[in-house]
Amino acid sequence: MKQVVIIGAGCLGREALWLLRDLIKAGAQMEPLGFVDDDPGKAGKTILGLKMLGSISRLEKAHKNLEAVLAVGDIQAKCALARRLKKRGIKFVTLVHPQAVFSEDAVIGEGSIIFPGVVMSAQVRIGRFVLLNPGIILSHDVLIGDWSLIGSGAHFAGQARVGEGCQIGTGVNVIPQKTIGDWSVVGAGACVISDLPAKTVSVGVPARVIKKIR
Ligand SMILES: CC(C)(COP(=O)(O)OP(=O)(O)OC[C@H]1O[C@@H](n2cnc3c(N)ncnc32)[C@H](O)[C@@H]1OP(=O)(O)O)[C@@H](O)C(=O)NCCC(=O)NCCS
């Protein structure tokens, strides 16, 4: 039995618990141990029937070889925490909801969280610590880079690529073979019909760059 701590007791933490419980119902040998979170307002509370175990730093000192889900929405914070906790020997589980569908040659990286209704076609590659929200369709050969967060209902046509650390809004469409550069943001509902540069914010149909990210 794998005992799993959920790091982050916010909205994504609650969603990760839902996902874990659905996996357990489907036969996974896992048990949620509790949440850890640095928000003092959450100390001592029970959230959706699961107790708070304390702060993240207390957890680092208390446990060796722990398995955890990193349920942190902010991409920069997620990156920093994953790097810090990996140095302490914490291992990260990859959560794929039983109602996500993927081809046998799809690759899904460590620590990624994949919600129900996601479809991953032939040779899709999902990096490490990626978050795929419900109802995302990834056609053949799509690549999603490490750390990226994809909003629900986004559609990626064949060979589309998302760089690392991107935030793709809900309902975005990307036509075949287009690339979204590293650490970029694409606004909800945008339609990407040309490559988008790294570290930019784009919105609209078709998607146009509206600002750079420093
Ligand atoms: C794109 C986005 C990140 C921009 O946020 P922001 O940097 O705070 O930008 P602002 O709200 O100041 O908007 C800047 C301009 O872009 C426009 N804009 C913002 N989001 C837009 C969108 N999704 N589509 C079209 N135009 C948009 C605004 O109307 C504004 O236009 P103006 O300058 O003519 O007034 C945000 O609006 C967005 O769409 N986020 C997606 C959230 C999401 O879907 N998350 C899902 C994952 S959980």
> 61 pLDDT band (50/70/90 cuts)?
confident
Query: Domain ends where: 93, 128, 149?
Result: 93
- The residues annotated as belonging to the active site are 140
Query: Domain ends where: 44, 64, 93?
Result: 93
- Domain extent for 85: 2-93
What are the pLDDT digits (tens) for 110-146?
999 999 999 999 999 999 999 999 999 999 999 999 9
C-beta separation of 150 from 130 below 8 A = yes
On whether both 163 and 101 belong to a single domain, the answer is yes
Q: How many CA atoms lie within 13 A of 17 on its CB side?
A: 22
Is residue 210 assigned to a domain? no
C-beta separation of 37 from 10 below 8 A = yes
What are the pLDDT digits (tens) for 83-120?
999 988 899 999 999 999 999 999 999 999 999 999 99
Asked whether residue 58 carries a pLDDT value surpassing 90, the answer given is no
Asked whether residue 65 carries a pLDDT value surpassing 70, the answer given is no
The domain that holds 30 is classified in CATH as 3.40.50.20
The residues with which 185 forms a beta bridge, in sequence order, are 167, 201
Name the pTM for this structure: 0.96
Query: Ligand 1: which of 74, 185, 210, 212 to mutate, most ligand atoms within 8 Å of CB?
Result: 210
Domain count, the chain: 2
**Residue 208 CB neighbour total at 10 angstroms:** 12
191 lines ligand 1 (CB under 6 A): no
Smallest CA separation from ligand 1 atom 5, residue: 187
Smallest CA separation from ligand 1 atom 33, residue: 210
Q: How far apart are CA 30 and CA 106, in angstroms?
A: 23
Q: How far apart are CA 10 and CA 33, in angstroms?
A: 16
On whether both 103 and 36 belong to a single domain, the answer is no
Counting every residue, how long is the chain? Answer: 214
Smallest CA separation from ligand 1 atom 20, residue: 187
> 59 pLDDT band (50/70/90 cuts)?
confident
What are the pLDDT digits (tens) for 153-190?
999 999 999 999 999 999 999 999 999 999 999 999 99
On whether both 81 and 124 belong to a single domain, the answer is no
Ligand 1 centroid–CA 73 distance in Å is: 18
Lowest mean per-residue pLDDT among 6-15, 18-27, 52-61, 194-203: 52-61
Average pLDDT over residues 41-61: 89
The domain that holds 100 is classified in CATH as 2.160.10.10
On whether both 70 and 160 belong to a single domain, the answer is no
On whether both 131 and 180 belong to a single domain, the answer is yes
Name the average pLDDT for the chain.
Answer: 95
On whether both 23 and 79 belong to a single domain, the answer is yes
Asked whether residue 205 carries a pLDDT value surpassing 70, the answer given is yes
Percentage of the chain lying above the pLDDT 90 cut: 90
On whether both 71 and 112 belong to a single domain, the answer is no
On whether both 102 and 43 belong to a single domain, the answer is no
On whether both 128 and 187 belong to a single domain, the answer is yes
Q: How far apart are CA 129 and CA 150, in angstroms?
A: 12
Query: Domain ends where: 93, 128, 159?
Result: 93
Query: Ligand 1: which of 72, 113, 162, 203 to mutate, most ligand atoms within 8 Å of CB?
Result: 203
Ligand 1 centroid–CA 189 distance in Å is: 10
Burial class (CB in 10 A: 0-12, 13-18, 19+), 112: buried
Smallest CA separation from ligand 1 atom 38, residue: 187
Is residue 59 assigned to a domain? yes
